[in-house]
Amino acid sequence: MSTGPDLHDPAIHAALDRYWRTNVRIMAVLLLVWAGVSFGGGILLADWLNQFRLPFTGFPLGFWVAQQGSIVVFVLCILVYCLLMNRLDRRHHEELERLSTGDA
């Protein structure tokens, strides 16, 4: 039965720190994207975007971004976060396996 990696090993501790920093970086970028679309498109640029109409609906684009676009971008951010974290988790687990077995 495996007890897991030795958390007192400096190499494993460094790998955990890299994992956490990457996770925080991903979250920060995605939250900035969402905030930019929500605040920028829904508030700051709404008047300029309203000169355009959403095809087949007649709704002003600024109104749509404020009401629906920010929600769509939020859901897409969640999807991108899941995909990126799955990839990061896979790489992190492989790295921990290498470090635990001494193959590094």
Q: Helix, strand or coil for residue 92?
A: helix
Residues of the chain with pLDDT under 50: none
Which single residue is written with the structure tokens 């955990």?
16
pLDDT of residue 65: 87
Report the amino acid identity of residue 64.
W
pLDDT of residue 100: 80
pTM: 0.80
pLDDT at res. 11? 84
DSSP calls for 20-32: HHHHHHHHHHHHH
